[in-house]
Structure 1
Amino acid sequence: MPPVSRPKVESVSPGDLVEYALQGRLRIPSIYQWDRADVTLLFDSILRGYPIGQLLVWQRPATAGTIFVGHLRIEAPAVGDAYWVVDGQQRITSLVGALTATDETVDPRFRIFFDLASESFVALSRLQRPADDQFPMSLVLDTTGTNAWLQARPELSDRQIALADQVIAGVRDYKIPMYIVAGDDDHTLRDIFQRTNTRGNPLTDVEVFGTLLSTDDEKQRGDLHTLGSAVHAFGFGEIPEPVLRQSLLAVGDPARTETALGHVVDFFRDEAGIPHAWLIPHPEYIPVLAIFMAEFGPPRGRAAELLRRWVWRGMVGEPVEDDTVFLRAVHTDPLASAQRLIGLLPALQGWRPDISETRLTHPKAKVNFLGLLSLAPRHLPMGGHRQGEPIDVAPLLEVTDPLVPVLDDSSSLGRGMANHLILPLAEAGDLAERLRWDTFDERVLASHCLDAQFLELLRFGPPHRFLEARAKAVEAVIYRYVQDRALFGFPDGPDVTALLGEDDERD
């Protein structure tokens, strides 16, 4: 038996991990696959004192450069004893990201709050204003900020204040075992990784070590690469490089472009109802919105409403021959710019969904997917989640196509949306049989455009009857969702009520 290289083990707190990150000592592969439910569950486990598993790091030198940990961009110096994270990427990224979030953090997976009313952790987007009794995890390591937050809320009960103190202490004092392997030989490291990396959605040996071993020789990132990494940290997926380049050319300054694209992501996610870049049928709209945000800031009121109409009408319509006309339409003021953008779209009459398309590389399939997504699909009782939990599709789209068929049917209906549900791949096994005979909560069924009658058709009718019935229901859901956002047939001028209000003030 060859000599054994034993790792040393230390106990680290979440605060230690934040300090290591800010010092540039933590080097983490940019592979972040967790959703909001994963992050809130992590904090809940910490508060309850449950074990969350050990960390495994490789202690070795690291060169200077721009590194990313969650939403953080750090100009890291050269470090002789950096911690290259082998096992624990998701947990460390979640903890560091949530504990250092600011008002400008875009990714909702890092905007974690403890709701003192429901006594549970919640994740909020940047456009969702936290309630006065929702304590931000970003203040846990900030005693002065915590005291100011509590003093500004005299309405909190003694129990709520005590509960906030318990959350703070529970996170600050929590200890995580961290195994440290030193030296240049990665044999021991790989052996430990392969024996222990079996929980949740484990990363592969190639994903982890390929990233670690290649990062060491990277040259300093250019503006475009750094911008792409920063935008990817918004949790909205990867924006194609040509689109990033056009956004940078339109706005001009990398920092200003990054800020503008953060507002674009907020707009897509919270105003337009599009949770991931992959689901945008026409990504050439991104630079237009970027210059809009850079010129005017996040849209409000009527301007936001008209921009949403422009995005959705453009999504279901034919692309314009020269999309640069959109860039030239953004000037003067936000409302007039939004009206000009709508006026540049080709006229579209009598639009109906085409539910035959399910390939998510196709614009029509993306519209179909978003229509079904509007029902807020929930997990089935498989795949490691509790039945009824909402599905966060953004992380799923990073690794797989979350459209899964119900029946093995090669007919035209069988290939279309009528035969597909939005689910993680882990919940797709024996789907038709489970729907036929398992018991499901009505709320879960409704979230997938299903009900008891559809299940009866699955059990006792020929497949085409189920598919024909669900096709009508799916088409109605998609049409209604698009119409509610595109508002075909509605006037696109200024808000009449706002104009009346101005007249009243002058009178």
Structure 2
Amino acid sequence: MTTQALLDGSGSERFSIPALVQLVRQGSVRVPVYQRDFVWDAGDVRDLFDSIYRGFPVGTLLFWRHSAPAGAASLGPIAMNVEADEHAYWVVDGQQRIISLVGSLASEFEDIDERFEVYFDLASQRFVNLRKGVRPPRAVPVREALETKSLLAWLRQHADDLEVADYDLADRLGGAIRDYRIPAYVVTGDDQELLRKVFDRVNTAGRPMSRAQVFHALFAGETKMGSPASVVAALRTMKFGELGEDRVVQSLLGIRGGNIQRDLHDEFGADENVASWYDQTEQALAKAISFLRAEGVDHLLLVPHTLPIPVLATFFHLHPDPQPWTLRLLARWLWRGWVHDFGQGGGQTPILRRAINSINPQKLAGQVPDEYSAARSLLGCSTDGPAPDLPLNNFNPNHARSRLVMLALASLHPRTSDGILVDLAEEVEAHGSGAITPIVRGYRSRAAARAFWPSGSARMALTSDPRVLASHAIDEAAITALRAGQVERFVVRREELIKNILSGFLDSRIEPGGLVRPPLADLIATGITEEV
């Protein structure tokens, strides 16, 4: 019978950067012999500080809490003589990040390695290194920002070179570095082999890894600052909701082209900058989100289905500034897919694969279909037909059909009782599906009993402004019934109004039998105008 080493006392912690630097200074952070050398270049170090400044995640550190002897200790190019520590933090994962922070921020390690001479250029708000040995005139050494006292001293010393706004930027830099918290998992125990097993299993214990998790584990190591999680975090600033990491991975593979179901292990060549690909994916997804908002979809929780998002990201990566007519065709494909469930044929993944293949068929091929051809190919895979009658009972804000109803109601530009436009993105971000509130009791499962009526507002029946009522699909007959307490009559009347609104809303977007032609500018340029 074998005994298993226990992880008594193990758990998650969060370290401030000043605290982490101090732990290294006093010899409480050590690097095991099986860790690799310091391999980051200056760009990797700058990217780390940029992530901290922007509040992006930088990954979780993994420590082994164990005794450490006195004597010489080194972390990459940093060498120290330290005292013994009975409860030292041995670095299992995170060496590159820790060395970069300590080497760049601790004053005693100045000039030890040029990769650690990092500056924050106040003019461009970017992290830079020396240029031919010369510091930019308005660039703060990050080393001075670790402590408020040293930062203020630097600002006073260089006051003649600074502008008024520079002081706020420098203060923000110092606050970002001092306030940032790095997550860590600390393992206790006496068996080094156990640590190796934890290192191998930390991302896989308990359940199989998803496709996005595998991608993250394979390619988002310490030398690659980009990851699906970092893209999700960056997009969070758009207040559009939390996009799943699987959709990020699909977008990345779509942008690179070819079959999005291909094996991940050999995706990137040794000379490829993986972080750059994640950055391009983030930019493409941001364009896709802007396009969705232009279509009246203000939040991810209003999206009937997220399947089109990787397709849109791929399209906007290849065609970042399409012509208005192409955008109209692309919108037509989007809405037809949502209304007709993307054909429901063969499952989601084959549909997504065919859509990506129609606009970016080969991996890193260089040549792709032009914007019109790509949009036409997508439309060719969609269902061209009138919108079906959508039921207004069994309403559930998490279901695709109900979200189409919600989008139709959102198209009316709902207003508060004071006549102010409701910020739907803000409401949904704050309240989730609860943003579409019940306006009468006992009819929760019927769409006509729900509205984008902010919680805490005055009762709908007390509203007299016709413009406000119309923005919620309520006419005089409906509000009269509601004020008289005739709730069933109110709901039935409002259902009639919503049905008419929904029919016109969907038809205007799916454009049944709509003309498919190149943009007029292209037709005029080629002399082809007969089909217009």
TM-score class, shorter: 0.5 to 0.7
The two structures have a TM-score, normalised by structure 1, of 0.54
Alignment of 1:435 with 2:460, yes or no, is yes
Alignment of 1:300 with 2:329, yes or no, is no
Alignment of 1:247 with 2:276, yes or no, is no
Structure 2: state its 5+ residue gaps.
1-13, 22-44, 59-96, 106-122, 127-163, 187-220, 257-276, 360-367
Match of 2:233 in 1: 229
Instruction: Select the residue among 251, 265, 284 that pairs with 1:260.
Output: 284
* 8 Å contact kept, 2:284–2:317: yes
Structure 1: state its 5+ residue gaps.
1-28, 30-57, 82-98, 103-168, 184-210, 381-386
C-alpha change, 1:417 and 1:216, in structure 2 (3 Å) is same
Alignment of 1:277 with 2:314, yes or no, is no
C-alpha change, 1:504 and 1:283, in structure 2 (3 Å) is closer
Match of 2:242 in 1: 238
Q: Per-residue CA shift, 1:115-146, capped at 9, x if unaligned?
A: xxxxxxxxxxxxxxxxxxxxxxxxxxxxxxxx
Alignment of 1:339 with 2:370, yes or no, is no
Length, aligned pairs only:
322
C-alpha change, 1:501 and 1:469, in structure 2 (3 Å) is farther
Mapping 1:403-482, distance limit 5 Å: 403-410=436-443, 415-427=445-457, 434-436=459-461, 438-460=462-484, 462-482=486-506
Shift of 1:244: 0.7
Shift of 1:417: 1.2
Match of 1:130 in 2: none
Shift of 1:389: 2.0
Residue identity opposite 2:327 in structure 1: A
**Residue aligned with 1:426, SS:** coil
Q: State the identity %.
A: 24
Alignment of 1:360 with 2:390, yes or no, is no
Larger Rg: 2
Residue identity opposite 2:508 in structure 1: D
Mapping 1:34-433, distance limit 5 Å: 61=19, 65=48, 78=101, 215=183, 223-252=227-256, 253-270=277-294, 272-320=295-343, 321=346, 322-323=350-351, 324-330=353-359, 331-380=368-417, 387-400=418-431, 401=433, 402-410=435-443, 415-427=445-457
* 8 Å contact kept, 1:357–1:364: no
Q: Per-residue CA shift, 1:194-232, capped at 9, x if unaligned?
A: xxxxxxxxxxxxxxxxx9877466996652221121122
Shift of 1:292: 1.1
C-alpha change, 1:61 and 1:406, in structure 2 (3 Å) is same
Shift of 1:497: 8.2
- Structure 2: how far apart are the matches of 1:435 and 1:301? 39
Shift of 1:293: 1.3
C-alpha change, 1:489 and 1:101, in structure 2 (3 Å) is farther
- Structure 2: how far apart are the matches of 1:225 and 1:277? 17
Q: Which range is displaced more, 308-317 or 395-404?
A: 395-404
- Structure 1: how far apart are the matches of 2:20 and 2:471? 47
Shift of 1:456: 0.8
Q: Per-residue CA shift, 1:254-306, capped at 9, x if unaligned?
A: 12211211211111111x22111222222121111111111121322221110
C-alpha change, 1:367 and 1:67, in structure 2 (3 Å) is farther
Q: Per-residue CA shift, 1:400-437, capped at 9, x if unaligned?
A: 22111111124xxx52211111133333xxx6xx333x
Residue identity opposite 2:456 in structure 1: A
* 8 Å contact kept, 2:255–2:317: yes
* 8 Å contact kept, 1:318–1:346: no
Q: Calculate the aligned-residue CA RMSD, in Å.
A: 4.2
- Structure 2: how far apart are the matches of 1:303 and 1:462? 48
Shift of 1:504: 8.5
* 8 Å contact kept, 2:297–2:303: yes
- Structure 2: how far apart are the matches of 1:283 and 1:371? 18
- Structure 2: how far apart are the matches of 1:486 and 1:70? 43
C-alpha change, 1:283 and 1:62, in structure 2 (3 Å) is farther
C-alpha change, 1:503 and 1:347, in structure 2 (3 Å) is closer
Q: Per-residue CA shift, 1:351-395, capped at 9, x if unaligned?
A: 233322532221111111111001111223xxxxxx222211223
- Structure 2: how far apart are the matches of 1:355 and 1:493? 36
* 8 Å contact kept, 1:281–1:362: yes
Residue identity opposite 1:280 in structure 2: V
* 8 Å contact kept, 2:414–2:472: yes
C-alpha change, 1:73 and 1:59, in structure 2 (3 Å) is closer
Match of 1:49 in 2: none
* 8 Å contact kept, 1:454–1:466: yes
C-alpha change, 1:70 and 1:347, in structure 2 (3 Å) is farther
* 8 Å contact kept, 1:458–1:466: yes
- Structure 2: how far apart are the matches of 1:71 and 1:486? 40
Match of 2:515 in 1: 491
**Residue aligned with 2:341, SS:** coil
- Structure 1: how far apart are the matches of 2:291 and 2:299? 11
C-alpha change, 1:278 and 1:470, in structure 2 (3 Å) is same
Q: Per-residue CA shift, 1:447-481, capped at 9, x if unaligned?
A: 21123332211122622211111001112222222
Mapping 1:20-35, distance limit 5 Å: none
- Structure 1: how far apart are the matches of 2:382 and 2:125? 39
* 8 Å contact kept, 1:309–1:487: yes
- Structure 1: how far apart are the matches of 2:279 and 2:419? 41
Residue identity opposite 1:445 in structure 2: L
C-alpha change, 1:304 and 1:225, in structure 2 (3 Å) is same
Match of 2:68 in 1: none
C-alpha change, 1:70 and 1:393, in structure 2 (3 Å) is farther
- Structure 1: how far apart are the matches of 2:516 and 2:509? 13
Residue identity opposite 1:228 in structure 2: V
Q: Per-residue CA shift, 1:60-110, capped at 9, x if unaligned?
A: 6467946768977698974899xxxxxxxxxxxxxxxxx9999xxxxxxxx
Residue identity opposite 1:372 in structure 2: L
**Residue aligned with 2:456, SS:** helix
Residue identity opposite 1:404 in structure 2: T
